Structure 1
Amino acid sequence: MGRHRKAAAPPAPAAPARAPHPPESPGSPGRDRYFDALRAAALVRVVTYHTFGWAWAGLVFPSMGIMFALAGTLMARSLRRPAPGVIRRRLRRLLPPLWFWAAFVVAAMLVHGWRPGGEIVYWIVPLGDPPGEAWAEQAWEIAWYLRTYLWFVLLSPPLLRLFRRAPGPVLLGSLAPVAVFTFVWQPPEDRYGGALTDLATYLFCWLLGFAHHDGVLRRARPAAAVALSAAALACGLWYALAHQAEYGTYDLDENPLAQALWSAGFVTPLLYAKARRGTDLAGLARVRWLDRLVTVLNARAVTVYLWHEIALILAVPLTDLLWRVPACAAYLPLGSQWFLFGVCWLLLAALVPLCGWVEDLAARRKPRLLP
């Protein structure tokens, strides 16, 4: 699991932290600014984590658990329609941006001397981790999230039927697989073992999205929701801290069971507040720049996620060039990771209009530089 998401903040101005939503049309009916704001915050947290490598970032805001829960809610809503058409639409929105990004990553590795075998098919349909050269691992290892999302999309029709037969037991029981993988049987260290582990880690969050959509959370008693959330948070934090020696850190991204428990406890009250109290952020529109930023981040979520590591990679040589300019070296904080963070976002501001139009084509919308 650690190979997917571990990030260690590099010494400036050396290479940045090594890595590590999929798409919904922002203009579609029924969009919710509360969910949009959560997704935007999750994306910002991902970029921040990969820049600084802060182990505590997942405790403050478990972005992946939040994104899987939001995606589960939207998937349950979409499955009001026939499942084959829903899955086709999800694949159509996901795969073209992935292929566009992959073309650059694979081309760079080929130029660098990489010679792939038949497993290169996983760059086309990422049912397993795509192969790659260690030299470019920072760029391609983030594909684990899209691989996990794809599997959840394919499994959602039977998962939703199972969930609706016994919502409570199925939701609580969804934490069992990650416990089994921790204490009973550990999946192999290969692309399929990694997929199993990630599916087990975020299964509760995906099903929690089902629970929100189907009204299960709305019917739950506040005391029960609070108690279960607190218990999950306490167990997750305890397991992360108690097993630092085993995993080498308390970073949740290195510890699947702690990640599953903490994400479950953290995300439940976020969705419960929405379900019970109708929490929204309609007032966000009064802060024009922030409302605009949330809109762009949601409309270009796949682009930001896929390209942010490349932006971090490019930020390093750009910063090195600035060291050669005496005025920049004297007055700019070129040795600061915060400066690298700022350069990364400037590059993303350029990459979003340059590459984000692929998301419009995938959604069968007229391509736009910015939504």
Structure 2
Amino acid sequence: MTYKLVWYGGAAMLLLAVSIVVSLTIGSSGISVRDVWGILLHQLPLFSKEAGSYSAGEIAIVTQVRLSRVLLAVLVGACLALAGTGFQGVLRNPLADPYTLGVASGSSVGAAFIILFGLQAAMGMWTIPIVAFATGMATLLGVFWLANHKGVIHMETLILSGVILQSFLGAFVSFMVSMSDGIVNQILFWLMGSLAMRGWDHVYMLIPFLLIGLPLLLAYGRPLNLFVLGERHAAHLGIHVEQTKLIVLIGSTLLTAAAVSVSGVIGFVGLVVPHLIRLLVGPDYRLITPLSAIGGGIFVLWADTVARIALTPKEIPLGVVTALIGAPFFAYLLHRRKKGQGGAL
């Protein structure tokens, strides 16, 4: 296991580093590759005293716009992929994703409400993220309340509760969109997901959630491996089943709500990335969890890069790009799995 982690982890980190380097040099502002890296080097203490022939606008584009957006894409992707790993492990379903329990719809309700009534300035730039995060967590509590029966949460009931709340809240969002008239584009743009107009404050907001969520899910790698055998077998092997489910689901939902509150609704990341990692390295969650975090960052980074440059000067919503990439890929995985099981899913 250690050998696999070092090998695959090293390769993934190298791919992530290359992706960051390439993404930073791509943009519509006309700044050359040499100037981009010259500007970045001049931000380091060792080179800061050297004179540079860069304008204030060029420095701002590279350091305040591109660099923050690249890092934010990596963080959002890592959060969503980690959350997908947690949901797939607990629900024992490779088709599960961070939105299975309706967290995205809950966050969307809060964001749409704020935009609809023009309250974006109530708490400054943090208004929509804070409210979206709060409504996403409230949705999770509602799902747990519906699924709880005498202190026990059954997986089938949990998923069904998530589907019920997701449908209800999705209808509520659609209702607010129909009532929004002149600001309908703002709501729809948030629902389609984007990293535009985001900055370093949003990066700093996501870092604590990732620093909490990643170690948490890593710590539950072995219990998630035993969940594959079934809850009864896992309990016989010393796993506190209900406690494990609760902690992993709460941690995964925290990661989802944090990412969605910053970037809007971005689908297929938590669905495709853990599934692909599982195909590459096997079913061991001690490997799947860290590699999914890196893979999610790479996936969203490249999707956001495509969103920025594909139709310059216009920008495609990030959620549209991830869906266009993720849906056909996942359809291929389903077809492959169906053939392997003789036509049965």
Q: Same fold by TM-score, threshold 0.5 exceeded?
A: no
Q: Please, what TM-score do these two structures have when normalized by structure 1?
A: 0.29
Q: Please, what TM-score do these two structures have when normalized by structure 2?
A: 0.30
